[in-house]
Structure formats: C-alpha cells, structure tokens
Amino acid sequence: MPRPTLPDFAFAAALLAINVSAHAVENLADCATIEADDARLACYDRLSGRAAAKAVPVAQAADSVPPARSLLNEAWELEDKSELFRVRRYKPVYLLPVFHASQVNPTPYSPTRGTAATLGKPDNNEAKFQISFKTKVADDLFNDNGDLWIGYTQSSRWQVYSSAYSRPFRETNYEPEAMFVWRTNFDLLGMSARYASLGINHQSNGQGGALSRGWNRAIAAVGLESGDWTLTLRPWWRLPDRGANDDNPDVADYAGRGELLLTRVLGGHVFSAEARHSLRGGSHSHGSLRLDWAFPIDEHLRGHVQWFSGYAESLIDYNHHANYFGLGISLVEWH
C-alpha cells in the first residue's frame, strides 16, 4: 500500500474543510445567526428532520377562496343550466294571523260595476296568508341565453275573527304569470345588472258582479345586486280590456304602473321595501309602500312583520286607502 503524499493530505484536508463549513451552522445557536428568513427556517427544519413547507401557488390559493354569494343567481339560476319543472321559491310565503286595517272598506266600488252589497261591516282584524312559487320550463331558448319561467302567487284575507258572519274569506287574489329571463352583465345605478325579463301577468279575485276585479299586464324587469342588496325595477303596461265590461278601468291609477323592490339579506334576516306608483300627477297620483321583515326563529322558520300604506293592498280594495299591519311567520327566504 503506497504511503500518502503531501498532496493527498492537502486534498483530504480540503474535503474536510468543505464538509465542516457545510455543517458548521447545523446547531440552534448558529441557525439563529442567519439573517435571511427562508434560510433560517430551512436551517431549523433540517435540524428537526422536518421537510420545508411547500409554498402554495398563487392560483391554487385563489381557488381556495369561496366565491361571493349572488342572491339573484340563487333566485333565478343564472349561471348554469338547472333542472326543469322543479318548484322554486318566488315571492314571500307567510301566514299572518294578525293583520289589522286602520280603515276597513265596507262598500267596495267599481266605476263600471257600482257599489257592492256586503253582509255587515268587515272586522278590522283578520288573517292574511300568501303562497308563491315558480318553475323553469325551458333553458337557453336564444343560443345560450333566455330561460322561460312560469310562476303563481295567491294571497287571501280571511275574516277569521268575524264569528257572527261565519268567518268568511273576504278576498283572495290569484296571480299566474310567465316570463322570459335573460342573463345580463352591465352596471346600472352603481349596481350589477344580473338579469332582464319580459312577461305576461294575470291577476283577478275570482268574484262576480260588483265584486269582480281583474287585469292583465305586460311586465318588464331588470334585477340589480350589490353584495347582500338587490334592487328590482318592474314597469308594466296594462293590456286593454273589454270596454264597458272592464271591472276596474282605472286600476293602474291606484295599483300603479310600476314598482321598485329593494331587499337586503343580513344573516338570517330578510328586509324588503316595495314601492308602487301610478306615474301620473294630479288626481291620478296614487301609490303604496310595503315593508317586510323576516327574522329567524329556528333553522327553517322565521317570524314575519309586514306594514302597508296606500292603495291596492288587494284587488277588491284597489281604490281604497288604508294602513295595514301584519304579524306572523315566514316559511322561505326571498329576494
């Protein structure tokens, strides 16, 4: 075996020096002296036997953030194709065992039908309930846009406290409708316009003679949202009726020619304000304001408070002005 020479010793010493220098900081005291954060953390990870954590790519981190909630997309299923003929929520569904009128209407009047003969004076206190639903019947009728929906709303005023008159239903309004809904993407009034729609609406009370009321409308709408706020603008045009057979030729002067519906969802609470107006001046200037508040009671049930002031709280009272206050329960969220 040959004896090591001086160059061999020099080479071995150099290797040892490199190895020592590479591991000279492999103790906690030396790790602490490293200025760079990443290098100092890597030093501690090596000493502990733990692999350095991998950085999460920016795109992956962005994907982990849940998308912002869209109230109008939830209501009208704007972003993706969805199941047809499935019942969805529409307008509020509630039962108000307490519904008080400041001024009852004992003599409903129509300019073409005259004054209705009624049995006694209605009680100022009654119960009111409403059911409402809609369903999508067709998807993307115009290339990749344009959905067809049909809806139905029914509201009743029940004289449940009038025991002397067999507790009759004073008024029920029936409202079927159909509407085309287009997805939109533009800004209006500082909000995002999510959809526009055009539809046909019929509303009547199913009664005859001087108590008969009904009208048909073509209704346009645009739905706007910003965060938990939504704003729906709905102008309409009353379709002509049958001349002298018209039950209520001046209904638009009282029930209005359009409405504005503003809603706010806050936690489990839903607040809404609905304003209607005839869009005329002078003696034809009439309108109404309805405020609703639904608040959580448990997971599936909410309390419901309603206040209304103006004309046309119901069709039978379309030309009667009063204030109404209701208290009860609400079954579904709406916006």
Long-range contacts of 303-311 (CB under 8 A, 24+ apart): 303/327, 303/328, 303/329, 303/330, 304/92, 304/94, 304/96, 304/328, 304/329, 304/330, 306/94, 306/96, 306/99, 310/276, 310/286, 311/254, 311/255, 311/286, 311/287
Pick the catalytic residue from 70, 156, 192, 204. Answer: 204
The 3-class SS string of 52-70 reads CCCCCCHHHHHHCCCCCCC
Cβ neighbours, 10 Å, residue 52: 11
CA angle 232, 289, 97 (to 5 degrees): 105
- CA end-to-end distance (rounded Å), the chain: 93
φ/ψ of residue 74, rounded to 5: -60, -40
DSSP 29: H
Strands 229-238 and 214-226: antiparallel
The one-letter amino acid at 270: V
Distance of CA 158 to the CA centre of its chain: 28
DSSP 122: P
Pick the catalytic residue from 100, 156, 192, 202. Answer: 202
What CA dihedral angle connects 85, 87, 89 and 90, to 10 degrees? 50
Establish whether 269 is a catalytic residue.
no
List the one residue out of 171, 147, 145, 148 whose CA is nearest residue 158: 171
Establish whether 300 is a catalytic residue.
no
List the one residue out of 53, 143, 108 whose CA is nearest residue 254: 108
DSSP 245: G
The total number of residues shown for the chain amounts to 335
Query: Which residues are annotated as catalytic?
Result: 202, 204
